[in-house]
Amino acid sequence: MPTLFAAELHIRNRRVLAGLAHLQPGSSATIRPNDLADLRAELSSVGAKLRSLPPGQSLDADEQREVSEYHRHLQCLRQLLPYIHQRLLTEKARLEGARSRVAATAAWADISRRTL
């Protein structure tokens, strides 16, 4: 039976995996600020748990497997960061274009209203 520590790591690893799946190339979902914040919170929580372990404490097989999975998730995130950065820059450019169109439309409406 897994320890409480292994069970908690397993739950958090599942949440991290779900967050990473949302950020993968090919995902058409828009990256929302809370997506990155939630992922960061999960990673930080696991990191804090691991740092709280006494030095030299041995882990059982379940705990070691979950820690290894956490490390795999970190490596996956590391590889995804350039892609995520590019997606965010693309979204920023799209939003700036939309803002510019709204401002131009508002200016046009203002001028049209004055001429009538």
List per-residue pLDDT tens for the chain, 116 residues long: 678 889 999 999 999 998 888 888 887 777 788 888 999 999 999 889 889 888 888 889 999 999 999 999 999 999 999 998 998 898 899 999 999 999 999 999 999 888 87
Q: Is 18 a domain residue?
A: yes
Q: Are 74 and 43 in contact (CB under 8 A)?
A: yes
Q: Is 100 a domain residue?
A: no
Look up the domain containing 8 and give its range: 4-82
Say how many C-beta atoms besides its own lie within 10 A of residue 70's C-beta. 20
pLDDT at site 27:
75
Q: Is 67 a domain residue?
A: yes
14 to each of 8, 51, 78, 87, 91, how far by Cα in Å? Answer: 10, 20, 18, 24, 27
pLDDT at site 100:
96
pLDDT at site 8:
92
Q: Is 97 a domain residue?
A: no
Phi, psi of 87 (to 5 degrees): -60, -40
pTM: 0.76
Total domains, the chain: 1
